[in-house]
Amino acid sequence: MCFSLACCGWMLLWSIFAFINVMHSTVHPTTTLYYHQGDSSNISCNYLSSNNADIITVRLQKNTNVLCSYMRVKSWINQSCADHIRFIWIPETNKILFELSNLQINDTGAYSCTVKRLTPPPEVILWEEITIVNVIVSPVLFMSCVETSNGSLMIVCSSEGFYPAALHQLWMRDGEIIINSNNNEIYSTNTDGSFTHKSYLELPSQMFNETIFTCWINHSSLNEPIMANLSSTVCYETSDLALTMNVWFVVSAVLVVFVVITVIAVTCKCYRRAKPRSAVDVGVTPEPVFQDNMQSFVLYSSLGDHHPVPCSRSPSGVSSPLNAD
């Protein structure tokens, strides 16, 4: 209930102002930006409050995840902000920016920046802006020759590490487009979210003239299409070299096995010759030791002039020289 005409007029004006702010909050301008991986992005927010006494919050979020939040109470206060995001306020234009540094593939998405006045009440969203950030990565292109399990030759065109996934690729032979040449294609996803595309082109068993094969690709990250060339001669020479290397490998392996077996055989033979025979194996009969029956047993006395003293007994059948008489 209004107590005065001035009070009613003030409340009417406040309602109109709040309604206008609400109408502003329903406006969501959308901006789409493209950046190369590793670049930095500036996501802008319009700052509509002209009263420094107002308490304002500004928030940047991706989907439902709040990435950065600041509050202004006379000055800006950091509430929470990710490491790779920097809050920028330009007082001359009352403009707010969020700088995202070192963009990666997983930074691709829709970002919303919301400016809200908390006081004086009621709470009002002053501005909300949506920015779509697309991080693009250029493909790395190269060609090579491979030999299949059945011995046929193929040229491979590899486009690696690109994002997003859409890629246009063509085969050319001596500058002429080969129709229906992309039937054998493989798409794969890398660990960082990028993509790899491989296209295979089969070669005939033999080509008498040198032919130049070209792989042509186009991608949203490129300013213009890129191409790579490969000669058929390189593939056939590579195949012949691989065959020669395989033959030499087999021959070398056989020689190594032969040498090893020979060394083992010679070693075993030498070991058997050098091994000493045991006592059991020796067939030598010891010769009997006969005592010389003609030898006289002589005892040496420890007395006198140390003349020899003949034994009183002689071996049987042999007479002593002392008893010869």
Quick check: is 81 in a domain? Answer: yes
Question: What's the whole-model pTM score?
Answer: 0.63
* Cα–Cα separations (whole angstroms), residue 28 to 10, 31, 86, 114: 29, 10, 23, 10
Clarify whether residues 110 and 170 are in a common domain.
Answer: no
* Long-range CB contacts (within 8 A, 24+) of 57-62: 57/115, 57/116, 57/118, 58/87, 58/96, 58/113, 58/114, 58/115, 58/116, 59/113, 59/114, 59/116, 60/85, 60/98, 60/111, 60/112, 60/113, 61/111, 61/112, 61/114, 62/109, 62/110, 62/111, 62/112
Clarify whether residues 25 and 130 are in a common domain.
Answer: yes
Closest CA to 96 of 132, 120, 74, 68: 68
Clarify whether residues 106 and 173 are in a common domain.
Answer: no
pLDDT profile of the chain (325 residues), mean per 10: 49 48 56 95 82 88 94 93 94 91 96 92 90 96 90 92 96 90 86 96 81 96 96 78 46 68 77 60 51 47 52 50 47
Clarify whether residues 122 and 34 are in a common domain.
Answer: yes
**pLDDT for the residue numbered 253:** 64
Quick check: is 2 in a domain? Answer: no
Clarify whether residues 132 and 150 are in a common domain.
Answer: no
Domain that holds residue 183: 140-237
Quick check: is 188 in a domain? Answer: yes
